[in-house]
Amino acid sequence: MKICSVGLGYLGATHSLAMARLGHEVVGIDSDATKVDSLNAGRVAFHEPGLDEALRESLSNGSAKFQTSFDIPEPPDLVFICVGTPQTGSGKSADISFVFSAGESLAKVIAPETVVVGKSTVPVGTATALRDRMSAVAGFPVHLAWNPEFLREGTALEDSLNPDRIVIGSWDDFSSQKLKEVYKPILDRGTPFVEVDVPTAELVKVAANAFLATKVSFINAMAEIAEVSGADAVELAKAIGYDDRIGNKFLRNGIGFGGGCLPKDIRGFVARAEELGVGEAVSFLKDVDSINQRRRARVVTLADQELGGLKDRNVLMLGLSFKPDSDDMRDSPALDIALRLAQAGARVTVHDPVSLVALGDQHPELIREQDVSASAKDQDLVILGTEWSEYKAIEPKAFGDLVANKLIIDGRNVLDVAAWQAAGWRLIALGRNVHN
Ligand code: UGA
């Protein structure tokens, strides 16, 4: 099928390449010429496993091309809207202006039989307004459907090609049939398929992210209790996780969730519910957000207590991205903690296997180090902020010979406590009672 995808960020670039891999002919559009040039030159602008190979493959077989303009030789069968919906500068609600501007530009180039599909995460009610605006510009009733995306950074392409479900919200059969056709290879494998109305499809995405954020904050709330009662939140998560109504996923306590999705989506959800007059229904998400923020503050307090003040102390932050296998530092707990420590007067060195490039010259107060061993030199405190596998493989004895003071805070609960303690480290694991 002929497909057009608007927005070439994490979602749009991945979706375009996934569609090309399924055998469709894809034109990707983004107003950012740097992004487009980079993709046409075979380079994905962010770190995402497998995406570079998929890009090279689709450029060489001609299944995908990228451009800044909305000039398309013939109207596509389907258009996917994959633009960002960031938190507004002024408040907590989602900024949906990019969705509307993409929609209006598209309305000038599509045909009455083109199906427009929203994939961006939007406040419920956006699709109705978008359909009306697009139809007014196009001069015919636009076919619009909503098809939320559940990909995770770090496994984005794999998640797009092998999703655990496909959700389609539509107002008419024609649109849902077209979407079933585009996803045929995935649906033929028996992938669960949920067909719903459009507002439900919009809500599914924010509800899923709100639930995941709530799970993480729940276990982090248990970690707060564990820390003052001598209990162990890691063992607790294991024990409750065996109940398959609870499940053991997304129950890892630590410095909390970050990224371009969970934090802004829960805030946007609260803002939208308040607009709809049912703010109380999701007001607990404000607590979910507060618990998450408190974990970051907790690490700063711990560092201060352990070091007897932060001024001029040497602190190493291992990891900057919000999760491993990504160089995304949006709302990253590790970066946030590093900045708070620097703000409090510590000399903060940062290491990350891939994110230093994306960090560029932002935050000059942070000292960059590209080599893990070199980064350890003279440190008074090490904090593990992102659980890259390279950090889990650090040999505690040799690493201990490099630092000034063998003190480590494991912000992700991934280190082998016994091995680090045996090598003479004082290890503080968040929410755990294993400290020596
Ligand atoms: C999230 C959702 O998981 C995806 O399903 C969704 O498609 C995506 O947002 C989106 O809206 O586009 P992502 O932001 O890539 O995906 O990251 P997650 O894997 O959800 O992790 C989010 C954060 O939670 C990370 O900072 C991670 O370290 C943290 N986390 C996760 C924990 O602290 N504990 C856990 O047990 C799990």
pLDDT digits (tens, 9 = 90+) for 156-168: 999 999 999 999 9
Write out pLDDT tens, residues 58-77.
999 999 999 999 999 899 99
Q: CA 333, CA 344: separation in Å to the nearest integer?
A: 16
CB 170 within 8 A of CB 156: no
Provide mean pLDDT across the span 279-291: 98
Nearest CA to ligand 1 atom 33: 256
Polymer length in residues for the chain: 436
Rounded to the nearest angstrom, the distance between the alpha carbon of 218 and the centre of ligand 1 is 15
Write out pLDDT tens, residues 189-240.
999 999 999 999 999 999 999 999 999 999 999 999 999 999 999 999 999 9
Q: CA 30, CA 105: separation in Å to the nearest integer?
A: 12
- pLDDT higher than 90, residue 345: yes
Nearest CA to ligand 1 atom 8: 152
- What is the atom index within ligand 1 of the atom nearest the CA of 256? 33
Question: How is residue 425 written in tokens?
Answer: 């480290």
Rounded to the nearest angstrom, the distance between the alpha carbon of 351 and the centre of ligand 1 is 22
Provide mean pLDDT across the span 148-161: 96
DSSP readout, 34-60? HHHHHHHTT--SS--TTHHHHHHHHHH
Q: CA 242, CA 71: separation in Å to the nearest integer?
A: 54
Write out pLDDT tens, residues 258-271.
999 999 999 999 99
- What is the atom index within ligand 1 of the atom nearest the CA of 154? 15
Residues contacting 337, CB < 8 A, separation 6+: 255, 296, 299, 300, 317, 383, 385, 411
Provide mean pLDDT across the span 363-369: 98
Report the pLDDT value the prediction gives residue 413, as an integer from 0 to 100: 98
Q: CA 272, CA 266: separation in Å to the nearest integer?
A: 10
Residue 91 — pLDDT band, cuts 50, 70, 90? Answer: confident
Using CA atoms of 160, 148, 105, 328 in order, give the dihedral in degrees to the nearest 10.
Answer: -60
Nearest CA to ligand 1 atom 2: 152
Report the pLDDT value the prediction gives residue 90, as an integer from 0 to 100: 78
Mean pLDDT of the chain: 97
Q: CA 159, CA 393: separation in Å to the nearest integer?
A: 26
Report the pLDDT value the prediction gives residue 142, as an integer from 0 to 100: 98
Q: Residue 23 — left, alpha, or beta (φ > 0 → left; ψ -120 to 50 → alpha)? A: left
- pLDDT higher than 80, residue 436: no
- pLDDT higher than 80, residue 435: no
Question: How is residue 26 written in tokens?
Answer: 């894809």
- What is the atom index within ligand 1 of the atom nearest the CA of 333? 26
Cβ atoms within 10 Å, residue 1: 16
Q: What are the backbone dihedrals phi and psi of residue 168, each rounded to the nearest 5 degrees, phi first? A: -125, 125
Question: How is residue 153 written in tokens?
Answer: 């950074």
Nearest CA to ligand 1 atom 20: 152
Q: Tell me the percentage of the chain whose pLDDT exceeds 70.
A: 100
Could you report how far apart the first and last alpha carbons of the chain are, in Å?
61
Ligand 1, pocket-test mutation among 122, 162, 216, most atoms within 8 A of CB: 216
Provide mean pLDDT across the span 81-105: 93
Nearest CA to ligand 1 atom 30: 257
- What is the atom index within ligand 1 of the atom nearest the CA of 11? 12
Rounded to the nearest angstrom, the distance between the alpha carbon of 185 and the centre of ligand 1 is 27
Ligand 1, pocket-test mutation among 14, 85, 152, 166, most atoms within 8 A of CB: 152
Residues contacting 90, CB < 8 A, separation 6+: none
H-run or E-run covering 25: strand 25-29
CB 200 within 8 A of CB 169: yes
Q: CA 53, CA 203: separation in Å to the nearest integer?
A: 33
Nearest CA to ligand 1 atom 34: 252
Ligand 1, pocket-test mutation among 212, 255, 388, 430, most atoms within 8 A of CB: 212
Residues contacting 304, CB < 8 A, separation 6+: 310, 344
Rounded to the nearest angstrom, the distance between the alpha carbon of 323 and the centre of ligand 1 is 8
- CA within 13 Å, CB half, 177: 5
Using CA atoms of 332, 405, 402, 346 in order, give the dihedral in degrees to the nearest 10.
Answer: 40
Provide mean pLDDT across the span 115-120: 98
Catalytic positions, written as ranges? 261
Nearest CA to ligand 1 atom 19: 152
Residues contacting 216, CB < 8 A, separation 6+: 250, 251, 252, 256, 257, 262, 292
Find the residues whose C-beta lies inside 6 A of ligand 1: 121, 149-153, 209, 212, 216, 250-252, 254, 256-259, 261-262, 322-323
Predicted TM-score of the model (pTM): 0.97
